[in-house]
């Protein structure tokens, strides 16, 4: 790691135009370790003046200098080098990610491995973005060229900090864009570590800039900036709507990966053990801080009571513990704010439904933002805990009568990110798949996420798709070129 990433006082700088630089106001903010509630680092806080500086660097890098001359092969090599570096530094990155976000180290290692895979995938794709010859008149050659959309503002959340950044950085680099990345203020550290390797990977100055700050004072000016062509955002639906409104002024391209209240549907004929596991894993993985969390568990009436009991029994065995303990299956939630928010939903839930297990703070911890994996049952789909995204370890179990009822309840939500259906009856499972209004549907599983397959939401869960070839499309424009082949083409006057 270069000596300049931090000041003499240990404050992390911002990465602009290929250099570690100080922010304009000299202010910084604390970054916490949610298991101990202690400050683990301080990071310079960017405001609109820093945003402007970063955006101008990205603009310059896009319009002139070495980047526009780089070939797809060059971009591929850069992505492969970043992937190799991430793999080499996986233990360190995973440790920082786990300590800062609260997630168990085993999960953090998986996340960082996936980051490397994303860079490798888009390294491969960088050389496979062809244009087209369009079938027009015999007197012309018509081409469609794929060109980078320009300067992209990338705004990411705290639940999968470096992974969500990589979902955006890698396709944007493959496409030839330049960019300003703003990590979430809760979890800025791994993106800064990555930035320290950009030069070594061959990224010219200004191509990727990393600034940190709060949503209102750093994210919002990035969205407003007239030199930014595109915003790619992952976060809450509320902020997604605010970004869409603000981006309308400059008609930026906007892609959004937002919240969800995803149904996880269990029919009586599904494998019992796998189903109980799948219900728990679907909602409690990453402390439930997952946009695709299967937070509405829909269970066929004839197995409903037994299923709730089995879930509750097994939930009690889920090991909560510090992020660096390899046996931990759940760590603390990310922050005090998030802890308070989840606690407020636990209070609401207790007035709306019954508690099968959990419901509060585990007794064995005297500090840290730990919350018990909580299962509410006899939940009506109109209850707030069934309609609003909680983003914590809170499951709602809802009974259904039959296939039609399951589909109706599953689709009765403003969201449409993900869904899962569990059954051994392939006719029924596929009928349900076709009826679900969601961008991702799993059958007899929940949560596997594949670098090669599209990810994104229907309805209020988002706009656009990430991952796979779809991911790079969102960073491309299409230019139509008409080449006349007739020496006297007009002949009008
Ligand atoms: P969460 O509720 O998961 O914290 P948010 O949607 O609030 O999710 O935040 C996700 C990202 O969006 C963070 O990087 C945050 O700083 C940023 N953000 C929050 N508010 C705004 C805003 N008004 N404009 C742009 N970015 C924002």
Quote the ligand 1 centre to 219 CA distance (angstroms): 7
Quote the ligand 1 centre to 317 CA distance (angstroms): 34
CB 377 within 8 A of CB 356: yes
**Which of 215, 237, 369, 462 most suits a substitution to test ligand 1, by most atoms within 8 Å of the C-beta?**
215
CB 77 within 8 A of CB 123: yes
Name the residue among 40, 467, 473, 477 with its Cα closest to residue 234. 467
Nearest ligand 1 atom to alpha carbon 220:
24
SS3 for 32? strand
In angstroms, rounded to a whole number, what is the distance separating the alpha carbons of residues 31 and 188? 8
- In 367-412 the beta strands, taken as DSSP E runs, fall at 374-377, 394-400
What DSSP string runs through 263-326?
EEEE-TTS-HHHHHHHHHHHHHGGGG--TT---EEEEEHHHHHHHHHHHHHHHTT--B--TT-T
The count of other CB atoms within 10 Å of the CB of residue 370 is: 25
pLDDT at 2: 60
pLDDT at 267: 99
pLDDT at 399: 98
CA 111 to chain centroid, in Å, comes to 11
DSSP symbol at 175 = H
User: Is the CB of 341 inside a 6 Å radius of any atom of ligand 1?
Assistant: no
Q: Which of 45, 89, 291, 474 is catalytic?
A: 291
User: Is the CB of 235 inside a 6 Å radius of any atom of ligand 1?
Assistant: yes
In angstroms, rounded to a whole number, what is the distance separating the alpha carbons of residues 368 and 2? 32
Q: Give the pLDDT confidence of 74-107 residue by residue, as tens digits.
A: 999 999 999 999 999 999 999 999 999 999 999 9
User: Is the CB of 110 inside a 6 Å radius of any atom of ligand 1?
Assistant: no
pLDDT at 346: 98
**Which of 43, 157, 164 most suits a substitution to test ligand 1, by most atoms within 8 Å of the C-beta?**
157
Is 257 catalytic? The answer is yes
Q: Which of 45, 89, 117, 257 is catalytic?
A: 257
User: Is the CB of 249 inside a 6 Å radius of any atom of ligand 1?
Assistant: no
Q: Per-residue pLDDT tens, the chain, 493 aa: give them.
A: 466 999 999 999 999 999 999 999 999 999 999 999 999 999 999 999 999 999 999 999 999 999 999 999 999 999 999 999 999 999 999 999 999 999 999 999 999 999 999 999 999 999 999 999 999 999 999 999 999 999 999 999 999 999 999 999 999 999 999 999 999 999 999 999 999 999 999 999 999 999 999 999 999 999 999 999 999 999 999 999 999 999 999 999 999 999 999 999 999 999 999 999 999 999 999 999 999 999 999 999 999 999 999 999 999 999 999 999 999 999 999 999 999 999 999 999 999 999 999 999 999 999 999 999 999 999 999 999 999 999 999 999 999 999 999 999 999 999 999 999 999 999 999 999 999 999 999 999 999 999 999 999 999 999 999 999 999 999 999 999 999 999 999 989 9
SS3 for 465? coil
Identify any residues that bridge with 147 across adjacent strands, giving them in sequence order. 477
In angstroms, rounded to a whole number, what is the distance separating the alpha carbons of residues 357 and 240? 33
Phi, psi of 216 (to 5 degrees): -70, -40
The residue assigned the tokens 């589909």 is: 407
pLDDT at 3: 66
In angstroms, rounded to a whole number, what is the distance separating the alpha carbons of residues 235 and 242? 11
Nearest CA to ligand 1 atom 13: 184
User: Is the CB of 239 inside a 6 Å radius of any atom of ligand 1?
Assistant: yes
User: Is the CB of 242 inside a 6 Å radius of any atom of ligand 1?
Assistant: yes
pTM of model > 0.95: yes
**Encoding tokens for residue 376?**
């509410």
Is 291 catalytic? The answer is yes
SS3 for 417? coil
Nearest ligand 1 atom to alpha carbon 391:
3
């Amino acid at each position: 790691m270069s000596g300049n990433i931090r000041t003499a006082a240990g404050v992390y700088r911002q990465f602009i135009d290929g250099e570690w630089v100080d922010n304009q106001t000299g202010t910084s903010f604390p970054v916490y370790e949610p298991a101990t509630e202690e400050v683990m680092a301080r990071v310079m806080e960017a405001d609109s003046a820093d945003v402007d500086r970063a955006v101008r660097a990205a603009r310059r890098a896009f319009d002139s200098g070495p980047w526009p001359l780089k070939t797809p092969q060059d971009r591929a090599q850069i992505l492969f080098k970043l992937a190799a570096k991430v793999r080499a530094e996986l233990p360190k990155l995973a440790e920082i990610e786990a300590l800062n976000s609260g997630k168990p180290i085993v999960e953090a290692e998986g996340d960082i491995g996936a980051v490397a895979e994303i860079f490798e995938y888009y390294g491969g794709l960088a050389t496979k973005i062809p244009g087209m010859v369009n079938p027009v008149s015999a007197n012309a050659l018509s081409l469609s060229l794929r060109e980078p959309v320009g300067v992209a503002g990338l705004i990411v959340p705290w639940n999968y900090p470096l992974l969500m950044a990589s979902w955006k950085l890698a396709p944007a680099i493959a496409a030839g864009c330049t960019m300003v990345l703003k990590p979430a203020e809760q979890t800025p550290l791994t993106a800064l570590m990555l930035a320290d390797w950009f030069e070594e990977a061959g990224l010219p100055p200004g191509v990727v800039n990393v600034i940190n700050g709060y949503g209102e004072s750093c994210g919002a000016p990035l969205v407003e900036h007239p030199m930014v062509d595109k915003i790619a955002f992952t976060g809450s639906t509320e902020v997604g709507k605010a970004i869409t409104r603000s981006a309308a002024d400059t008609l930026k391209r906007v892609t959004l990966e937002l919240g969800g209240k995803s149904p996880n549907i269990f029919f009586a004929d599904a494998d019992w053990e796998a189903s109980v596991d799948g219900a728990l894993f679907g909602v409690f993985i990453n402390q439930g801080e997952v946009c695709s969390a299967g937070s509405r568990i829909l269970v066929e009436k004839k197995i409903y009571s037994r299923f709730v009991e089995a879930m509750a029994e097994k939930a009690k065995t889920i090991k909560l513990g510090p992020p660096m303990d390899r046996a931990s299956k759940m760590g603390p939630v990310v922050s005090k704010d998030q802890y308070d928010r989840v606690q407020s939903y636990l209070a609401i839930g207790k007035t709306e439904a019954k508690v099968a297990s959990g419901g509060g703070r585990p007794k064995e911890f005297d500090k840290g933002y730990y919350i018990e994996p909580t299962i509410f049952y006899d939940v009506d789909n109109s209850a707030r805990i069934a309609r609003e995204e909680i983003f914590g370890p809170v499951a709602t179990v809802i009974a259904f009568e039959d296939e039609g009822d399951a589909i109706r309840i599953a689709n009765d939500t403003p969201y449409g990110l993900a869904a899962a259906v569990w059954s051994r009856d392939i006719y029924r499972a596929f009928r349900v798949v076709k009826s679900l209004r969601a961008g991702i549907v799993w059958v007899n599983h929940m949560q596997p996420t594949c670098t090669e397959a599209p990810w994104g939401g229907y309805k209020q869960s988002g706009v656009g798709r990430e991952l796979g070839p779809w991911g790079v499309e969102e960073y491309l424009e299409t230019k139509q070129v008409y080449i006349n082949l007739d020496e006297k083409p007009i002949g009008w006057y």
